[in-house]
Structure 1
Amino acid sequence: MRLDKYLKVSRLIKRRTMAKEVASQGRVKVNGQAAKPGTEVKPGDELEVLFGQKHMTIRIDRVEESAKKEDAATFYSILKEERVDNN
């Protein structure tokens, strides 16, 4: 599945256009490599995402084309989450 679609379906980012923007700006890495919106992701991959003040490392557990809001949290495991100071 494409990275931008995964970020939307898993509800890590609410809109696919925002997911594309974040990936295009180089704020997402897949398995340590900078990723583009079209990068393919699969279960077992690790994502590093920089959301403004927060840096998250996530392992992909499931990949599906669509998900109910309640099921979205089962798509990934948070390995590390830290605040980033932009001083």
Structure 2
Amino acid sequence: MRLDKFLKVSRLIKRRTLAKEVADQGRITINDKVGKASSVVKVGDELAIRFGQKVVTARIEMLKDAVKKEESTMMYTILKEERLEKVDPEFIDDED
């Protein structure tokens, strides 16, 4: 299944066009490799999705072309959620 379709069907991202944009910006990795919207995902793959200052890591548990809203969370398991720290520009050393 394509990455953008999985994200929409699983409701990790609500719209397929938004999933495509996020993937094309390089904000999604599949098993530690940058994924494109057209990348093929399979059961067992780990996705890391960057939402602003947060990274959500999920494992794909099942693939289906369509599921009810209540069943969509069964398609993946959230492994971890972590906040990214903002870098204060005052502390960046430009004299390298």
TM-score (norm 2): 0.88
Task: Detail structure 1 runs of 4+ shifted over 6 Å in the superposition.
Answer: none
Q: Which runs of 5+ in 1 are unaligned?
A: none
Larger Rg: 2
Secondary structure of the residue that 1:11 maps to in structure 2?
coil
Alignment match, 1:12: 12
Structure scoring higher RCO (CA < 8 A, sep ≥ 6) equals 1
- For 2:69 and 2:29, the matched residues in 1 are separated by 25
Identity of aligned residues (%): 56
- For 2:12 and 2:85, the matched residues in 1 are separated by 21
TM-score (norm 1): 0.96
Q: Which runs of 5+ in 2 are unaligned?
A: 88-96
Secondary structure of the residue that 2:43 maps to in structure 1?
coil
Alignment match, 2:69: 69
How many residue pairs get aligned? The number is 87
C-alpha RMSD over aligned residues? 0.7
Q: Deviations 1:9-49 (Å, cap 9, x if unpaired)?
A: 00000000000000000000001100100000010000010
